[in-house]
Amino acid sequence: MLAYLDCFSGISGDMLLGALVDVGVDLEALRARLATLPLGGFHLDTQRVVQHGLAGTRVAVVVEKEGLGPERTLDAIERLIRAGGLPERARDRSLGIFRKLAEAEARIHGTTVEAVHFHEVGAVDAIVDVVGTALGLELLGIDDLYCSELPLTSGRVRGAHGVLPVPAPAALELLRGTGAGWRPVDVEGELVTPTGAAVLAALARFERPEVRVTSVGYGFGRRELPWANCLRLVVGEAPGTEPGTRIGVASNPDWERDAVAVLEANVDNMTGEALGWLMERLLAAGALDVAYAPLQMKKHRPGTLLMVITEPERAEELAGLVVRESGTLGVRIAEMRRLKAGRRVERIATPLGEARVKLRLAGDEVVGLAAEYEDARALAERQGLPLGEAMARIEAAGRERFGLGGDEAGD
């Protein structure tokens, strides 16, 4: 499936959530997944809205208390997202959006990504907007996201750093170089927020797709404007796909599917420490996975095969990092379809005490599991057991809990 964002009145996190719910995202499923985030008290409030002849949905994140304080670093937000029980692609999309935000803020303020402190976008409602958007796209099965041109307004907006021009510096920096087009609009005030811009920068292509429309939703903002202040979300299928199927999906609908870029390079001039440094840099820059394998090169030189899996839109950026950091003369890039199991982390009771297990899923069916290393290590130390035995006991309890066969191996 694909989706097209018609941003005739701009884009914000709450407008995105409203459009996703309006187009058909299961609100209870969305709430259940968001509840796994260790964020403290909040809930989603929805209402039907009619403005200037258009009807749609407004979603507000109502915060009952701030669990971690209003300012958070990227590391704190990443740990928070990873701790939630999110589908892998929704988790990775959420992480990618916040990394884009951190990179833009670092460039604006002349600092590092690690030193950036999020203010408004680090608050509970903004985190829920971002993660809720990623979850909504996943619940709809959206593989590709497209976006229209954006309204260019004027005026000023007040933020944590004082009064800033509109569009906010973060929104402009996020969308610089993405191909986003701006259309002048004779109105003052912020219509494209940094949160909305970050979603677009991380996930969207600024072009109109060919699409067979299956549903349309409208997500309303809070401002009153001379027109209906909403974001239109068009969901459909690319021409040539079978109706009712996801793009590039085979007959088994239970596995998760996406597209990735695979980068490869032959390296023969780096120490083990330097290879470890490169791996850390690549993962910090957004790589999904990094691996090395021994390689026999020309003139019988021992070398290393570097393999990187990443989202297609990050491929050239990461390839450039490899060239700069490794000394290799070239990086091979291939785009591939990927079929994968879903993932979820759950806490279970075991004979050794409570422990987390990572579940491997086909749709809603648990097909495998593995003990969470940190929990297994803590229980092994507490009980005076070898690590392998502790992991085996945790996984046995997990197999019994989820009705798996006795021979099921962990991943």
- One domain for residues 383 and 295: no
- One domain for residues 174 and 107: yes
Mean pLDDT confidence for 235-240? 84
72 pLDDT band, cuts 50/70/90, is: confident
pLDDT for position 21:
94
Contact 63, 43 (CB under 8 A): no
Looking at every residue in the chain, the average pLDDT score rounds to: 87
pLDDT for position 409:
43
Q: How far apart are CA 84 and CA 39, in angstroms?
A: 9
- pLDDT at 245 exceeding the cut of 50: no
Calculate what percentage of the chain has a pLDDT beyond 90: 55
- One domain for residues 233 and 265: no
Q: How far apart are CA 121 and CA 158, in angstroms?
A: 14
Q: Dihedral of the CA atoms 116, 117, 118, 119 (nearest 10)? A: -140
Q: Dihedral of the CA atoms 178, 211, 143, 290 (nearest 10)? A: -50
Mean pLDDT confidence for 152-177? 83
Name 4's Cβ contacts closer than 8 Å, sequence gap at least 6.
145, 146, 147, 148, 208, 209, 211, 233, 234, 236
pLDDT for position 248:
35
- One domain for residues 319 and 172: no
Domain assignment present for 53 = yes
Comparing 51 with 403, which gets the higher pLDDT? Answer: 51
Instruction: Encode burial over 298-316: b for 16+ CB neighbours within 10 A, e otherwise.
Output: eeeeebbebebbbbebbbe
- One domain for residues 314 and 384: no
63 pLDDT band, cuts 50/70/90, is: confident
Tens digits of residue pLDDT in 338-361: 878 888 888 899 999 999 999 988
- One domain for residues 124 and 35: yes
- One domain for residues 293 and 196: no
Domain assignment present for 384 = yes
> Per the structure block, which two tokens stand in for 338?
């990927």
- pLDDT at 254 exceeding the cut of 90: no
- pLDDT at 246 exceeding the cut of 90: no
- pLDDT at 94 exceeding the cut of 50: yes
Calculate what percentage of the chain has a pLDDT beyond 70: 91
pLDDT for position 161:
58
| CATH number, domain containing residue 380 | 3.10.20.300
Mean pLDDT confidence for 283-292? 91
- One domain for residues 173 and 212: yes
Which residues span the domain enclosing 266? 256-340
What Å distances lie between residue 376 and 373, 384, 394, CA to CA? 5, 12, 7
- One domain for residues 95 and 37: yes
Domain boundary among 237, 270, 302: 237
pLDDT for position 259:
82
Tens digits of residue pLDDT in 129-142: 999 999 999 999 99
Domain assignment present for 409 = no
- One domain for residues 13 and 92: yes
Q: How many domains does the chain have?
A: 3
Domain assignment present for 286 = yes
